[in-house]
Structures are given as C-alpha cells and as structure tokens.
C-alpha cells in the first residue's frame, strides 16, 4: 500500500488507503439488523409517553422510555440474560400465584 499522503480525495484531503478486500473474519456473515421486540405509546399528552424494546445489532437489547409530557426519553442497554430475568419477574408478577 502507498503512503497515507498518496491518497488525496476530491476535496484535497488526504485519507488513509482503504483495504482492497474484506478480512476473512467478516466474509459471508449476515449482519443482524435492529429489530423491534415491543413498543407501546401513551397518546394522552402532546408529548406521548412510550416504551420500546429493540434487539440491537450487537445482540444486546435497548429499552427506551419517555414519561408523558416530557420532550426526551432515556435508553439503557441490557444483555439477553438480564432481559430474560426481567421477563421472568414480570411473568411471575402477572401469572404467578398470589
């Protein structure tokens, strides 16, 4: 590969050379796309409250919540094991014995 200064782009900026091919470790690997697992929106306010759970590309889950009337939400990232524990606790609360 040439020197880093040999790669000038159309705007006159010098850039690092791009690899000719993908590394073997990423060939023939299907990327995981972000997937909605659960969403809920409370429309009783001009700024609706909501909860959303997404499976992210890295295999973790993101949970985003916003309180009705607020303009911004908050997001946390959790592992599948943590989500399973949360799911079990909710199932016990909803369907378990009193």
What's the pLDDT score for residue 76?
96
| 12 close to 36: Cβ distance less than 8 angstroms | no
pTM: 0.62
What's the pLDDT score for residue 2?
45
Q: Which residues contact residue 76 at a Cβ distance below 8 angstroms, ignoring those fewer than 6 apart?
A: 62, 63
Containing domain of residue 52, as a range?
A: 4-95
Q: Hunting for tokens 């993101």 — which residue is that?
A: 62
Per-residue pLDDT of the chain (98 residues; tens, 9 = 90+): 444 445 555 555 555 545 454 445 444 445 568 899 999 999 888 888 999 999 999 999 999 999 998 888 999 999 999 999 999 999 999 998 65
Instruction: Please state whether beta strands 49-55 and 35-42 pair in parallel, antiparallel, or not at all (unpaired).
Output: antiparallel
Structural domains of the chain, count: 1
């Amino acid at each position: 590969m040439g020197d880093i200064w040999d790669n000038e782009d159309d705007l006159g900026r010098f850039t690092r050379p791009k690899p000719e091919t993908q590394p073997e470790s990423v060939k023939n690997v299907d990327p995981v796309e972000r997937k909605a697992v659960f969403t809920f929106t409370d429309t009783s306010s001009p700024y609706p409250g909501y909860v959303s759970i997404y499976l992210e590309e890295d295999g973790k889950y993101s949970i985003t919540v916003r309180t009705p009337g607020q303009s911004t939400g908050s997001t946390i990232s959790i592992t599948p094991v943590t989500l399973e524990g949360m799911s079990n606790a909710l199932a016990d609360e909803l369907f378990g014995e009193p």
